[in-house]
Structure 1
């Protein structure tokens, strides 16, 4: 079942920070720049075995997308980092009372028709340094592809230039793209001591 879109009140109650990072014109320029990135590759999953050992694997039945770490277009990454620091970090500090946080991991992701990422958490194991996850939507001219939070019973409707930031331990999913191509920028923010999650 596809969950309904979140209301502003639901976002505030859930601790999800929702802000505009880029204008539509800026998003168009970013999408054009990303076309020239030289490192687009199938997205991997960090998979833990029963023994606790981790492996980085291609698992298209779980995650079907392409990822770039901005090879040849580092200026996009730098601009994304600055906007997170200016527009999202203050909200996270206010919401969670942490001042020692900074964005340190970045990538661009594109989901074509059928692209998805099943419910998962962005931290744990070797990824425990991740305190918050950031997703910035670069377009909205596709069908499907919402960001779903199953435990909260709602999804985020992608809107061009808007970004969400949330604790990396929140269970979430990229719902399947039914038509078109969804493009996002993603970052993980490192934190200090453990946060009292709501």
Structure 2
């Protein structure tokens, strides 16, 4: 290893050395210490390691036949904040997970906002549909036994305010979001574990992707609490998020593949009624 000039340029030789150390089983901490001992500044060393290893792992993944990774929404959590500024509201960070990237937010919505969304949605409820990736259309799915409706993006002042809040919270453009979906789950209703991305192998997926590309993240907001059951479950990582009113769970998926471990579902409601608002985020502007 060597330092090139006064600005410490990261060379191809350094990147090669970092990959060799990782493949030899050396820990990230030991590699970082070796770089600092050789004269690299800590900030440059960390950035070089993260960028090099991310690129190396991505190359290996694609070589193994996985779809390429894409940028995803990313809440600013590097400094482990207790709260995030969502513009018009301070939102609590209650729980985080790196793989998969899951974040539980507290008080994303007020009680008044929850009530208003339910009131506006109720007259428009119908049996929920799912996207039919074989055709690019929609269909009734026995795995999803809820009633629901969609607001158009920016349909009213309340929806616009929530969409702006989400965009700021997760660092993603408002126009990349699908319309806000409101769902009602009665006793026994559920949504069996599934992925939110569109399967590239299905014949209808190219048609779906014309409207904004792949889904890259989901945020589920809880509007009304059931007395029992109804949690959001992630079977691959044995996680269940309780459906507490006003809170939300966010998760992102950088490639449309099960290796993201974003398999999730809505557990059956055992008593009472569960209301949620779901927002799916796309790669690009959704029209």
Give the TM-score of the pair, scaled to structure 2: 0.52
Equivalent residue in structure 2 for 1:44, among 129, 134, 147:
129
Aligned mates of 2:103, 2:159 — CA distance in 1: 16
Between the aligned partners of 2:112 and 2:136, the Cα distance in structure 1 is 41
Instruction: Quote the residue 1:188 is aligned against.
Output: 280
2:264 pairs with 1:147: no
2:97 partner SS? helix
Write the mapping of 1:63-142 to structure 2, written as runs, cut at 5 A. 63-70=144-151, 74-75=155-156, 78-86=157-165, 88-93=166-171, 102-124=176-198, 125=205, 126=208, 129-142=214-227
Task: Tell me whether 1:31 sits opposite 2:118 in the alignment.
Answer: yes
Matched position secondary structure for 2:191: strand
SS at match of 1:104: coil
> Which protein is richer in strand relative to its size?
1
Instruction: Please name the residue that 1:158 is paired with.
Output: 243
Q: Are the equivalent residues in 2 in contact too, given 1:130–1:190 (CA < 8 A)?
A: yes
Max radius of gyration: which structure? 2
Of the three residues 108, 113, 117, the one matched with 1:21 is 108
Task: Tell me, yes or no, if the aligned pair for 1:85 and 1:102 is still in contact at 8 Å.
Answer: no
Return the offset for 1:83.
2.6
Post-superposition offset of 1:34: 2.6
What is the distance in 1 between the residues matched to 2:231 and 2:221? 12
Find the residue that maps to 1:105 and give its secondary structure. Answer: coil
* Alignment partner, residue 49 of structure 2: none
User: Which stretches in structure 2 are left out of the alignment for 5+ residues?
Assistant: 1-93, 199-204, 257-261
Write the deviation string for residues 143-197 of structure 1: whole angstroms up to 9, x where unpaired. 10000011111111111111122125521101111111100111111225xxxxx
Aligned residues: 170
Output the CA distance in 1 between the equivalents of 2:274 and 2:159.
Answer: 18
Q: CA deviation at 1:66?
A: 0.5
Once residues 97 and 141 of structure 2 are traced to their aligned partners in structure 1, the CA distance between those partners, rounded to angstroms, is: 34
Kindly report the root-mean-square deviation, in angstroms, between the aligned alpha carbons of the 2 structures: 2.7
